[in-house]
Amino acid sequence: MKSRTITVNQIGYPTTSKKIAMFTGQGGTFEVINEASEVVFRGVTSNPVKDEVSGVMVCSGDFSALTTTGKYRVRQDEAVSPMFLITEKPYQHLHHGLLKAFYYFRCGMELEEEFAGPWKHKACHTTEGIVHGQPDRRLGSFGGWHDAGDYGKYTVAAAKAVADLLLAYDLYPNAFAGPVPLPETDNLTPDVLHECRYELEWLFTMQETDSGGVFHKLTTLHFPGLDVMPEEDLADLYFSPISATATGSYAAIMAMASRVYQPFDASFAARCLKAAIHAEEWLEKHPEVESFKNPVDITTGEYGDSKDIDERYWAFCELYRTTGDDKYHHKIQKLSRQPFDKCQLGWADVGGYGTLAYLLNDETNVDRALYTELKTLFLDEANQLISRSKEDGYLISLTEDEYIWGSNMLVMNHGMILLFGYHLTGDKKYEACALDHLHYLMGRNVLDISYVTGYGEQPVMHPHHRPSVADDVVDPVPGLVAGGPDRGLHDEYVKEHLQGKAPAQCFADHEDSYSTNEVTIYWNSPAVFVVSHWVR
Ligand code: G3I
Ligand code: 9MR
Ligand code: ZN
């Protein structure tokens, strides 16, 4: 790392927003220069403070007063920041790329040059899956998105990703007005719904027809090598056993989809609702379920989760919002008395999605006391994110112990919580803090890196993403959000290279670092949500 860096959001800043650059090392006077290297702004930084999570002395320089559209850099002595834009809507291209990433994650169809450009490849994973433990039972389960840098498909991960995209569409439909374009683009149904339907159609195949229970995942027994293209990954596919967490989040996402797709395709909406209700019936019949563990011969991602109460809560909240049926309301009233986290938006902790579904109900359909309680809880969470961000050197809310595997998901999840804070109150402090989280993701961080491939002057170049490693294209597939710093040093590469680093520096832009530099659908999806707010 350079001893002195000036970091910015490498995409840019909206014209009327607060514009801050971060300086490591000493403070003092700084300048903003335009493309012709003319000085267009002069300012003085704040006093440097030691930021423990980032491991540096850091100070900030405010150039909010600069509102002329243009391309700029911040300069201080010999140090210069990456280039950025000031314009009314700087994030449209980024939004498009983050959404297009889902197309690149598609399984089971050829990605044609017309849509995929140089990242085209043949159809993959086109054989039936074997139900684990029942060698003669094979089921078709094609399509959907690969989870990540690996080619597995996992139900709980899928549910989180689709939930974020559908929530983004729900709150910000105008952000999705234009075509991506996709093979399905018809200018009738928004492309984001076409893209999610590709995943939902696959999810239908994960539900066991008779029982309504949902298989936890569909993967090979082991991860393939890093240089294997998807169509070359020909090992047998296995359905891992049904789990309560998979079934609960499946019920929730299907109920949500039923509501969102209703205006566009009533028969698809009806299929979604039927699937949701069938899954919910399985949950009813299975009140106590052992948590999912990988069968001994399967070593792909476990997505283990010891609690299924939050998935059940989310399912009831979505079923209630979609149907208005009191029987679901009673379940929510009962379950919500239990102690579990009702604000998280993870793949394991999904209580926040349930809470949001409840808070987005028409106010005439809610239990006032419960509504107020949940709203207060949610806003308290958002307020805490703001106080933590104020104390952070890079103005984000992550505590030291939140620099975990996939920390960028937390960065964007927190952005979502803050934007819902804004939605529920209209108070701009939430919006401003959410934007600071986006600035971190796009480069205003201690490593001076844009965590989105293909976006920004210094983006991630070597993600742990099999297609990007195995194809002959220099640039990685664009629009992918990398996991980000993980202070647990969970892979061999970072164990060897990053010992003793501060939490926010525990990241390596190296293809071997699967614990910091992999990409996943559910790290992209909250980023789509957050960016949607500024392109609406
Ligand atoms: O929640 C605890 C926290 O309380 C504790 O302080 C912290 C200390 O390290 O750990 C936290 O748990 C971490 C957990 O993620 C949080 O979600 C675990 O250490 C960490 O090992 C775990 O990582 C998961 C990883 O799989 C390994 O299981 C990631 O969340 C998850 O995103 C990732 O998912 C993989 C799939 O298995 C396979 N496909 C790719 C995907 C992305 O890498
Ligand atoms: O490549 C795998 C990655 O996609 C997974 O998310 C990760 C989860 O644990 O595991 C990676 O595979 C590694 C395996 O776990 C351990 N040996 C090295 C593998 C990477 O080359
Ligand atoms: Zn595939």
Question: For a substitution probing ligand 1, which of 217, 403, 404, 409 has the most ligand atoms within 8 Å of its CB?
Answer: 404
Which residue type occupies 348?
Answer: A
Residue with tokens 């986290």: 341
**Ligand 2 neighbour 223 (Cβ under 6 A):** yes
Q: How much is the pLDDT for 2? A: 61
Using pLDDT thresholds of 50, 70 and 90, give the confidence band for residue 210.
very high
Atom number in ligand 1 closest to CA 518: 43
Q: Is domain 92-444+517-532 annotated with CATH 1.50.10.10?
A: yes
ipTM value, please give it.
Answer: 0.97
Ligand 1 centroid vs 405 CA: distance in angstroms? 5
- How distant is the alpha carbon of residue 114 from its chain centre? 26
Is the separation of the CB atoms in 274 and 376 below 8 Å? Answer: no
Residue 364 has pLDDT above 70, yes or no: yes
**Ligand 2 neighbour 183 (Cβ under 6 A):** no
What is the spatial distance between Cα 286 and Cα 214, in angstroms, rounded to a whole number?
12
Q: How much is the pLDDT for 528? A: 99
In which element (H, E) is residue 32 found? strand 29-34
What is the spatial distance between Cα 232 and Cα 242, in angstroms, rounded to a whole number?
28
33 φ, ψ (degrees, to nearest 5): -115, 150
Is the separation of the CB atoms in 455 and 94 below 8 Å? Answer: yes
- 1-90 shares its CATH topology with 92-444+517-532: no
For residues 77-88, give the mean pLDDT: 97
Cα diameter, the chain: 72
For residues 436-458, give the mean pLDDT: 98
Can you tell me whether residue 7 is helix, strand or coil? strand
Residue 456 makes CB contacts below 8 A (sequence gap 6+) with 10, 11, 82, 442, 443, 450
Q: How much is the pLDDT for 26? A: 85
- Atom 21, ligand 2: residue with shortest CA distance: 226
Active site residues: 509, 518
What does the pLDDT look like over 331-347, one tens digit per residue?
999 999 999 999 999 99
What is the spatial distance between Cα 296 and Cα 313, in angstroms, rounded to a whole number?
30
DSSP 310-347: HHHHHHHHHHHHHH--HHHHHHHHHHTTS-S-SS--SS
Using pLDDT thresholds of 50, 70 and 90, give the confidence band for residue 224.
very high
Residue 1 has pLDDT above 70, yes or no: no
Is the separation of the CB atoms in 212 and 281 below 8 Å? Answer: yes
DSSP 432-455: HHHHHHHHHHTT-STT--BSBTTS
Atom number in ligand 1 closest to CA 519: 42
- Atom 26, ligand 1: residue with shortest CA distance: 301
Atom number in ligand 2 closest to CA 299: 15
Spell out the alpha helix ranges (H) of 124-243: 155-171, 191-204
Residue 131 has pLDDT above 70, yes or no: yes
* Sequence spans of domains, the chain: 1-90, 92-444+517-532
Residue 488 makes CB contacts below 8 A (sequence gap 6+) with 404, 405, 506, 515
Q: How much is the pLDDT for 4? A: 81
Closest listed ligand to the CA of 216: 1
What is the spatial distance between Cα 141 and Cα 126, in angstroms, rounded to a whole number?
8
Record the tokens describing residue 305, joined without a space.
């989760």
Residue 220 makes CB contacts below 8 A (sequence gap 6+) with 151, 152, 233, 235, 236, 237, 238, 300
Ligand 1 centroid vs 41 CA: distance in angstroms? 44
What does the pLDDT look like over 29-63, one tens digit per residue?
999 999 999 999 999 999 999 999 999 999 999 99
In which element (H, E) is residue 369 found? helix 368-391
When the candidates are 3.40.120.10, 2.60.40.10, 1.10.1270.20, 3.40.190.10, the CATH number that belongs to 1-90 is 2.60.40.10
- Provide the percentage of residues in the chain whose pLDDT is more than 90: 98
Q: How much is the pLDDT for 388? A: 98
Which residue type occupies 424?
Answer: L
Q: Which residues in 126-188 belong to E strands, given as ranges? A: 129-131, 138-139, 153-154
What is the spatial distance between Cα 467 and Cα 231, in angstroms, rounded to a whole number?
10
What is the spatial distance between Cα 170 and Cα 504, in angstroms, rounded to a whole number?
33
- How many CA atoms lie less than 13 Å away from 482 in the CB half-sphere? 35
- 59-64-66-68 Cα dihedral, nearest 10 degrees: 130
In which element (H, E) is residue 19 found? none
Helices and strands of the chain, counted as H and E runs = 16, 15
For residues 199-226, give the mean pLDDT: 98
Record the tokens describing residue 362, joined without a space.
């028409």
Can you tell me whether residue 481 is helix, strand or coil? strand
What's the Cα-to-Cα distance from 444 to each of 7, 185, 277, 397, 400, rounded to whole Å? 5, 35, 45, 14, 18
What is the spatial distance between Cα 319 and Cα 196, in angstroms, rounded to a whole number?
19
What does the pLDDT look like over 266-320, one tens digit per residue?
999 999 999 999 999 999 999 999 999 999 999 999 999 999 999 999 999 999 9
What is the spatial distance between Cα 178 and Cα 193, in angstroms, rounded to a whole number?
12
For residues 346-362, give the mean pLDDT: 97
Residue 234 has pLDDT above 80, yes or no: yes
**Ligand 2 neighbour 226 (Cβ under 6 A):** yes
What is the spatial distance between Cα 311 and Cα 240, in angstroms, rounded to a whole number?
19
Q: How much is the pLDDT for 331? A: 98
- Atom 29, ligand 1: residue with shortest CA distance: 405
Closest listed ligand to the CA of 109: 3
Question: For a substitution probing ligand 2, which of 223, 517, 519 has the most ligand atoms within 8 Å of its CB?
Answer: 223
* Burial degree of 179 (CB within 10 A; 0-12, 13-18, 19+): middle
Using pLDDT thresholds of 50, 70 and 90, give the confidence band for residue 536.
confident
380 φ, ψ (degrees, to nearest 5): -60, -45
What is the spatial distance between Cα 199 and Cα 268, in angstroms, rounded to a whole number?
13
DSSP 269-296: HHHHHHHHHHHHHHHHH-SS-PPP---T
